[in-house]
A and B are shown apart, each in its own frame.
Chain A
């Protein structure tokens, strides 16, 4: 595909091996269970295998995007009905739904073709829903997206109940001639194995990683050139394919479909399984299915028979108030509540079997990479911003500010608090829409482009208030940018991600989560992550804030060297005048949204207007 996967062994080979192990372990446990419990156990295991497919499907979307979805069982309902309507023999359909539209009642179709069509139809639905999800999610946060998925679940249920011509309605439903028509487990095994492999490979794929970056920090991901809507859509479509297969198999295995089969109960069950195991992990999802299947079965039996199932013959009277019918519903609700309150990340959090194996056996020596050579070619691009205006209500944060920077210099921006420094950077990186003025690289106007387009055009920033991808390791943070650069910064010298990690002095922290880093290291990681995009211009918003004097002096060298290795111009804001004077070739001084002076550090220091703005003495 020509796309860079940082590490085939880590991202393909080991996940594939891990998937086989997970599959064998899960199926093995099921076979052991059913050998103890016979016929009833066999049925339980079959259902658990299908549940696992559904839970993995939800994991693909929920785990990678961080958006809670109640709608996947609704998608399952769509797939289940399409499958049933197509695959059930016409003899049975003519009894129940002779009036079905498009002559569907008289169709006899091979179930496996029906399954494919069910998946295609459901994916088409998902694409339309996904547009709304993405748009409202981007505007109002993931909460809005969740409500839309919930509404989808209700509407599919409502439509299934009220469209008896197609669905057989509320009571009768649709049924195959013989219940339990799926007499072999082979298709279920194949589908489950496929689901595990897809879930793991997607998580390690380019799209999966970018989706996770957006999950960790949507704004930072956009600033690094990621378009979250595209990644969330691909996660949605892939997960819906898997859910369609699982739902169709469930219908086939059941031999029938009713609206209530794909509604709240199944939604609760699958979500609890995912949460308990750990939603950010495929291994966790599988563990959750196992634990909750057994737990629920235990609760069901305790509810039915009290302690007698253990044959202890205890007088169970004192616990009668708890061992009642429907205990398993209480069990599921309490499990969800308990995990949300005490362990929201689930049993395994984001632990993955194959990642652990890779760390132990697959990685090898992992030698520290060489330092990067400085790029020879001069970056001849010019960034020009002119007459930029930004108003917040009546307040003019920028009032005609502008600057010019070329790709081979370091330009500093200074000014008192409220001068508009950060706002100017926000405008140039697309985070704030200017109310007037424009900016361009080499004459290409970029004033109205979204943040990810600007990042891909070479305008890349760091954040004053630190926005790293917290759950990802140091190395993975930098790799996100490297992945984007491989696609969108073609024709430039792309720095090696590992070398940048080493360059930033973070090599010994490479496998730690970004959220565990201290302040100075976090700032250096921000810098390395931005540099990995091979930007034309690096915009640094207070890169030394919170650092000691000696640290900020080393930062001068690091910034200069890193910019030189990727061939980027630098625009830097800071309060630390020693740092700014030490690093900048030229300086712009801002006050009240306007440029009041520009020139070399020496000229700026001598400028009476600048002195007035800083010290409050009257300008002459």
Chain B
């Protein structure tokens, strides 16, 4: 029982980060039908910015806003340089464009920094814990979960109560009709990339605090988690993306602690097998979005 509760807390902490990443992926999928394989590059770029700042003596308190700002800026630059040129292209083109962006960003750091892992100091409190009864809770997980809940509440407010949110949801539901109704497509798409950058930035802060290092290929892992979580939740559903993030985080933590030692190192493989099963029995993900085609 205690172990399960422990898993639950750990899983929620991990899942929170995945949920933020997945939501960022889902927002862009909504407005552009683009599944962004370059989403993790926001963390790569802001990771190098953090590394540069932290190793030149800047404190984490300043690094946090820096990471978020760099993430948003990178998201907007990528949209401008690459994605704005392929709007409305086929799924195939969109997917490979984002894959290309992923590689170009990675290659730039390979070319101009180095292929090796760069370390930077982690904030001291990251591994501190406190106890509730027999439970050991990390301060880090507590902060992650709280910040994520606040962020999700703010995003919900943004989407439900503001003009921008309404345009974004309208565009996600039916982009062409939204445009006909006077929604400015440029603003909505750029806004979506900024929002996605913000969410990746917040997730990136936590990701980097825990990792304490970065490298050219650092974006692969967060990208994969975000994209998979969005898919598990149901592509096209913002709520599904958040749900998918938490489900993925919980599944990883629970499996890692419950699997017998001999195959514990293969957790990722088992998680994937479960995801594959999910798609065989529930091909649209947890929250299936109807894709009615006009005939």
A104-143 CB contact bits vs B (8 Å, 1 = yes)? Answer: 0000000000000000000000001101100110111111
Q: Is the CB of A326 within 8 A of B115?
A: yes
A472-511 CB contact bits vs B (8 Å, 1 = yes)? Answer: 0000000000000000000000000000000000000000
Chain A residue numbers with a CB within 8 Å of B265 are 162-163
A150 to B102, CA, bound (A): 14
A219 to B86, CA, bound (A): 25
Interface status of A68 (Cβ within 8 A of chain B): yes
Which residues A421-458 have CB closer than 8 A to chain B? 422, 426, 431
Instruction: Return the 10 tightest CB-CB contacts between A and B, nearest first.
Output: A333-B103, A337-B100, A139-B283, A336-B100, A333-B104, A162-B265, A330-B107, A135-B283, A329-B107, A155-B272
Chain B residue numbers with a CB within 8 Å of A152 are 272
Interface status of B214 (Cβ within 8 A of chain A): no
Q: Is the CB of B295 within 8 A of A463?
A: yes
Q: Is the CB of B231 within 8 A of A144?
A: yes
Interface status of A528 (Cβ within 8 A of chain B): no
Q: Is the CB of B283 within 8 A of A138?
A: yes
From B103, B220, B284, give the contact of A329 (CB < 8 A).
Answer: B103
Interface status of B276 (Cβ within 8 A of chain A): yes
Interface status of B275 (Cβ within 8 A of chain A): yes
Q: Is the CB of B100 within 8 A of A333?
A: yes
From B99, B111, B115, B268, give the contact of A155 (CB < 8 A).
Answer: B268
Interface residues of A, count at CB 8 A: 55
Chain A residue numbers with a CB within 8 Å of B227 are 147, 150
Chain B residue numbers with a CB within 8 Å of A159 are 266, 268-269
B60-97 CB contact bits vs A (8 Å, 1 = yes)? Answer: 00000000000000000000001001100111110111
Interface status of B224 (Cβ within 8 A of chain A): yes
Q: A148-B279, A219-B293 are in contact. List 18 more A-B contacts (CB 8 A).
A: A132-B277, A140-B234, A140-B236, A141-B91, A144-B285, A154-B272, A159-B269, A264-B220, A268-B103, A271-B96, A329-B103, A329-B106, A332-B103, A333-B104, A337-B104, A340-B100, A344-B90, A344-B93
Q: Is the CB of B295 within 8 A of A143?
A: no
Q: Is the CB of B268 within 8 A of A158?
A: yes
Interface status of A57 (Cβ within 8 A of chain B): no
Chain A residue numbers with a CB within 8 Å of B277 are 132
Q: Is the CB of A148 within 8 A of B276?
A: yes
A148 to B231, CA, bound (A): 9
Residue pairs across A and B with Cβ atoms less than 8 A apart, 21 shown, are: A132-B279, A135-B280, A136-B283, A140-B234, A140-B235, A140-B285, A140-B289, A147-B228, A148-B231, A163-B265, A268-B99, A271-B99, A324-B112, A330-B104, A330-B107, A336-B99, A341-B86, A344-B86, A465-B294, A465-B295, A467-B295
| Interface of chain B, main secondary structure | helix
A465 to B234, CA, bound (A): 28
Q: Which A residues contact B (CB, under 8 angstroms)?
A: 66, 68, 70, 128-129, 131-132, 135-136, 138-144, 146-148, 150-152, 154-155, 158-159, 162-163, 219, 264, 268, 271, 275, 324-327, 329-330, 332-334, 336-337, 340-341, 344, 422, 426, 431, 463-465, 467, 541
A143 to B112, CA, bound (A): 33
Given the interface pairs A148-B276, A162-B266, the reply to whether A330 lies near B228 with Cβ below 8 Å is no
Residue of A nearest to B90 (CB): A344
Chain A residue numbers with a CB within 8 Å of B295 are 219, 422, 426, 431, 463-465, 467, 541
Interface status of B108 (Cβ within 8 A of chain A): yes
Q: Is the CB of B92 within 8 A of A341?
A: no
Q: Which B residues contact A (CB, under 8 angstroms)?
A: 29, 33, 35, 37, 82, 85-86, 89-93, 95-97, 99-104, 106-108, 110-112, 115, 217, 220, 224, 227-228, 231, 234-236, 265-266, 268-269, 272, 275-277, 279-280, 283-285, 288-289, 291, 293-295
Q: Is the CB of B110 within 8 A of A68?
A: no
Chain B residue numbers with a CB within 8 Å of A325 are 111
Chain B residue numbers with a CB within 8 Å of A132 are 276-277, 279-280
| Interface of chain A, main secondary structure | helix
Q: Is the CB of B231 within 8 A of A337?
A: no
From B90, B92, B266, B294, give the contact of A163 (CB < 8 A).
Answer: B266
Chain A residue numbers with a CB within 8 Å of B283 are 135-136, 138-140, 144
Chain B residue numbers with a CB within 8 Å of A128 are 276
Chain B residue numbers with a CB within 8 Å of A329 are 103, 106-107, 110-111
Distance of B98 from chain A, by nearest CB (Å): 9
A147 to B37, CA, bound (A): 9
Residue of A nearest to B295 (CB): A431
Most B CB contacts (10 A, CB to CB) among A141, A151, A159 go to A151
Q: Is the CB of B103 within 8 A of A340?
A: no
Given the interface pairs A150-B227, A151-B224, A159-B269, the reply to whether A136 lies near B279 with Cβ below 8 Å is yes
Distance of A414 from chain B, by nearest CB (Å): 19
Q: Is the CB of B228 within 8 A of A151?
A: yes
Chain A residue numbers with a CB within 8 Å of B102 are 333
Q: Is the CB of A341 within 8 A of B279?
A: no
Q: Is the CB of B103 within 8 A of A139?
A: no
From A70, A139, A334, give the contact of B288 (CB < 8 A).
Answer: A139
From B276, B288, B289, B294, give the contact of A129 (CB < 8 A).
Answer: B276
